[in-house]
Amino acid sequence: MKFKRFGFMLLVVLLLGFVGAASAAEKVIFTDGLEDIDAEANVPKGWVVFSNNNGDYGSASKDIVRSGSLSWFMDDPSSTASLGIRSPKIPAEAGKIYRAASYVFVLSGTANLYIEFWDADGARLGPQSTKNTVRNEWEEIFVTKEAPAGTKFVSLILYSQQTNTGAHYFDDVTIMEID
C-alpha cells in the first residue's frame, strides 16, 4: 500500500515536472521566411522601411537563401547611412520574455538584429540589438529581452547600422515568447 502511494506520488511529481517543462518552452508568435514580397512597397508583406540610404533598404534576393527561394539582401556601402526593415508589430505583454531571431549570412561588415517594444500610444520601448559572429555561412542570431512596463507589442528590425559598411542576407526570422 505504501509502495502504491509512493508510486502515485512519483507519477504526480513526474507529471508536474512535465507540465513545468512544457510551460518553459518557447512559443513562436511570429515567423517569416521572407518569401512573400509586397510588390508595391518592395518589402516583405506586413513589414515597413525603418531606415534607408537614398531609398535603399535592401531587396529580396535569390542568390543566397536559407529557406524557399528568397532572402533579404542589404548592400550597405555607406558609413554614414543605415538600412533597415521592421517586422509587423505582434501583440505582447509587459513582464514576459521575448526573443527575436534571424538567420544571417554575412559577406562583409556586420548584420544587426533589433528587438523593440511598443506601448498603447505607439511609443517605442527598450530596443536592444545583437549581431553576427561569423561570415560566409548561415548563423542564427538572437536577442532576448523582458517586455518593459506598458508593452503592448513587440517587433524586430533587420538592420545595417550607420557606421557599418558591408553586405549581408537575412532569412527565416522569428519572434518567440518565453515563459
Residues 82 and 51 sit within 8 Å (Cβ to Cβ): yes
Query: Does residue 149 contact residue 94 with C-beta atoms inside 8 Å?
Result: yes
Task: Tell the burial category of 25 from Cβ atoms under 10 Å away from its Cβ (0-12, 13-18, 19+).
Answer: exposed
- 33 lies in the binding site for Ca ion (CB under 5 A): yes
Cα(124)–Cα(128) distance, integer angstroms: 11
Binding pattern for the stretch 145-174 against Ca ion, x by CB under 5 A and - elsewhere = --------------------------x---
- For 6, phi then psi, to 5°, come to -60, -40
Q: Which is nearer to Ca ion, 39 or 120 (CB)?
A: 39
Q: What is the DSSP letter of 81?
A: -
Picking from 108, 98, 93, the residue whose alpha carbon sits closest to that of residue 165 is 108
Should residue 109 be labelled a site residue for Ca ion when binding is judged by CB under 5 A? no
**DSSP character at residue 70:** -
Q: Give the cell for residue 155.
A: 517587433
Closest contact distance (angstroms) between CB of 178 and Ca ion is 24
x-marked contacts with Ca ion along 54-93 as a string, rule CB under 5 A: -------------xx-x-----------------------
Nearer to Ca ion, 53 or 172 (CB): 172
> Between 36 and 179, whose beta carbon lies closer to Ca ion?
36
Q: Cβ closer to Ca ion: 68 or 150?
A: 68
CB of 65 to Ca ion, least distance (A): 5
Binding site residues, Ca ion, CB under 5 A: 33-34, 67-68, 70, 171
